[in-house]
Structure 1
Amino acid sequence: MPSSLEPFLGPPERFRPASTQAWRHVEDWLGRDLPADYKEFVDGYGDALLCGHLFVPHPEGSDPLLKFMQEERRIFQEAYGEVRNIPSALTDAWEEIVPWAYHDWSGDVCLFFSDPENGQWRVAVAFRQCPEFLLVEESFTDFMALLLSDRRTPRGWPVREPLWQSMPDSPLM
């Protein structure tokens, strides 16, 4: 776990990491590897709610990550398919967009997409209530650090304590 997030969430020993096989199933479906810092974060803190509303699934959690990604991608593409102001960086990666978290307050979804210029993963937030997008310039870890340390959240996201809580009935606890 990147040490920059531990002061806010505590040590990452709360869960067992996902098996190599579970991560492989997810990455085989995607056709590429996920960012290492994201996988490390999910292994330490996934299957949880952050700030009271941001659901981050784990590959072996109560709503397994692969199932979550598949369902949320379908829902996202149906909901946003007719939106006119989608940034070209997202339309260029439309079929490969990867949902990685869901905000249950507003229905917003956090996405990974491949930067067409360098092939690296980038973070975006798709706002559900008024279809707009926030393209994040920072890395996954930087985005999470801003959210957890500075409480710099995307528009409309309330921050509640505790910053981290396990999903009820998580099989990982």
Structure 2
Amino acid sequence: MGTVLPADYKRLVEAYGGGLFAGMIWLLEPGCPDPMLELVAQTAEREEILAELWEAGEDKPSELQEGGVRLVPWGFAEGAGHYLYWVVRPDVEPEEWTVILNEGRGPLWEASPVSCSQFLLDVVAGTTSSFYFTGLDDIIEPEDRFRFAPNSEFHGT
């Protein structure tokens, strides 16, 4: 991928591995045998998809207007298709990367000035300010709200 990953993400993957948080957010994992959940494969795929969208005329979010900024996906929302990215800026340490969401079925973007682990915690705890993850109690079963399901539950890995 050509970059060092944030320490908080590394700790998440070391502690949990990839998998499903709160019945809704998939955490991508390096080395996962499922390419849909594998960090490096999804980085390459999302770069290609976004390049095609922007070439076709879709507007880039303002966070990407400065030179040398790139996106690296770290998760996505089950069902909705929202992708969660780090905003990777030149000369900005990985621990300072923030999250940006691209809605799954449209051109809208939502920036969150937090790390990926803080974003996940806010969603699970119900304290998120993200438009796309408020009101989860209406769509997530109560027993799933605080549950983590590792990839092995779904793929036998």
Q: Give how far 1:38 is off.
A: 0.9
SS in 1 for 2:155: coil
Per the normalisation by structure 2, the TM-score is 0.73
Match of 2:148 in 1: 164
Conserved? CA contact 1:43–1:58, under 8 Å: no
Deviations 1:100-132 (A, max 9, x none): 112122111000112468554221111122311
Deviations 1:23-63 (A, max 9, x none): xxxxxx2x221111111112222321112122112112232
Taking the aligned partners of 1:95 and 1:45, their CA distance within structure 2 comes to: 29
SS in 2 for 1:97: strand
Match of 2:116 in 1: 140
What does 1:111-130 align with in structure 2 at a 5 Å threshold? 111-115=85-89, 118=92, 120-130=96-106
Taking the aligned partners of 1:139 and 1:102, their CA distance within structure 2 comes to: 15
1:91 aligns with 2:65: yes
Conserved? CA contact 2:98–2:115, under 8 Å: yes
Range moving further from structure 2, 152-161 or 56-65: 152-161
Q: For structure 2, which runs of at least 5 residues remain unmatched after alignment?
A: none
Equivalent residue in structure 2 for 1:104, among 55, 61, 78: 78
Deviations 1:109-167 (A, max 9, x none): 00011246855422111112231111111222322221111252733444631531122
Taking the aligned partners of 2:156 and 2:47, their CA distance within structure 1 comes to: 23
Task: Give the direction of change, closer, same or farther, for the CA distance of 1:127–1:103 in structure 2 (3 Å limit).
Answer: same
Equivalent residue in structure 1 for 2:23, among 32, 40, 52: 52
Taking the aligned partners of 1:54 and 1:153, their CA distance within structure 2 comes to: 16
SS in 2 for 1:73: helix
Q: For structure 1, which runs of at least 5 residues remain unmatched after alignment?
A: 1-28
Conserved? CA contact 2:119–2:128, under 8 Å: no
Per the normalisation by structure 1, the TM-score is 0.68
SS in 1 for 2:110: strand
Percent of pairs with identical residues = 22
Q: Which amino acid aligns with 1:98?
A: V
- The number of residues matched between the two structures is 141
Taking the aligned partners of 1:104 and 1:73, their CA distance within structure 2 comes to: 20
